[in-house]
Amino acid sequence: METYAIIPVSRFSNAKTRLSPTLNPVERENLLKSMLKDVIKVLKKKIPDVLVISADPDVLEYVEKLEVLSLKEEGNTDLNGALTQAVQWCSNYCSHVLIVPSDIPLIKEEHVQKILNKGEETDMVIAPAKGGGTNALLCPVKGMEMKFGDCSFFEHLKVAENNGFSYSIFDSFYLSLDVNTAEDLGEIIIHGEETETRSYLENLNLKVHSNHGLERLRVLRE
């Protein structure tokens, strides 16, 4: 089974706007760069061919030095449209793709290997995000419909069932954590040992405090 990895990346200028109460635009862009480097570093240790797709020329220029393949997103499309383009491009070279977002810096080599191992036994492997999304999807390049977005984990299960694909689920706390809120930043600071992302957040003097309100963690600049 020949597998390529695909990472879709949004425009740097639109990076993580939900974090605007905590980080300014430059800090959010640098956060995305740090997370992207962490994700690429882990993937490349297990999958030699990693493709970044983006509509942003700045993103594509940035990843050139990270020794990955790059593909410019064509047309005014959404995330699933971009991924469809990437899968179609990869279909010329491989039988399967592993799709992961750019904002899961706690991904580990063992996660990738276990997903690939499961992929030897089933057509698809799906790793859920903590909010019901999809944080990793290993699937064939033929016959797979992209359903990333709200509650996409369940949508991808439906696609598998509708197409008669066998599937397995890979559930991991670290892999389930994508970064959208200040609380997520706190989780990275706590659990992201040896990641570029945690180093970057610590350089911003962000500190984590326990909280007994709606969120378990508070992240403050000190």
- Tokens in use for 183? 């609380």
- Domain assignment present for residue 208? The answer is no
- Domain assignment present for residue 131? The answer is yes
- Domain assignment present for residue 123? The answer is yes
User: What pLDDT score does 111 carry?
Assistant: 98
When computed from its CA atoms, the radius of gyration of the chain, rounded to whole angstroms, is: 17
The fraction of the chain above a pLDDT of 90, given in percent, is 86
Give the E-state strand segments of 21-180 in sequence order.
Answer: 50-54, 69-72, 96-99, 124-128, 134-140, 167-169
Higher pLDDT residue, 79 or 1?
79
- Domain assignment present for residue 212? The answer is no
Listed range (39-43, 106-110, 116-120, 207-211) with the worst mean pLDDT: 207-211
User: What pLDDT score does 219 carry?
Assistant: 82
- Domain assignment present for residue 47? The answer is yes
pTM (2 decimals)? Answer: 0.94
Q: How many domains does the chain have?
A: 1
Contacts of 144 (CB under 8 A, 6+ apart): 87, 124, 159, 163, 165
Between helix 25-46 and helix 57-64 the angle, nearest 10°, is: 50
User: What pLDDT score does 220 carry?
Assistant: 80
User: What pLDDT score does 131 carry?
Assistant: 86
- Domain assignment present for residue 196? The answer is no
User: What pLDDT score does 212 carry?
Assistant: 66
Q: What's the rounded Cα separation, in Å, for the pair 181 and 165?
A: 34
CATH number for the domain harbouring residue 108: 3.90.550.10
- Domain assignment present for residue 211? The answer is no
> Do the strands 134-140 and 124-128 form a parallel or antiparallel pair, or are they unpaired?
antiparallel
User: What pLDDT score does 112 carry?
Assistant: 98
- What average pLDDT does range 24-43 have in this prediction? 97
- Domain assignment present for residue 187? The answer is no
Residue 119: which domain range?
3-176
**Residue 76 pLDDT > 90:** no
In the chain, what is the straight-line distance between the N-terminal and C-terminal CA atoms, in Å? 49
Q: pLDDT tens digits, residue range 170-213?
A: 999 999 999 999 999 999 999 999 999 999 999 999 988 877 66
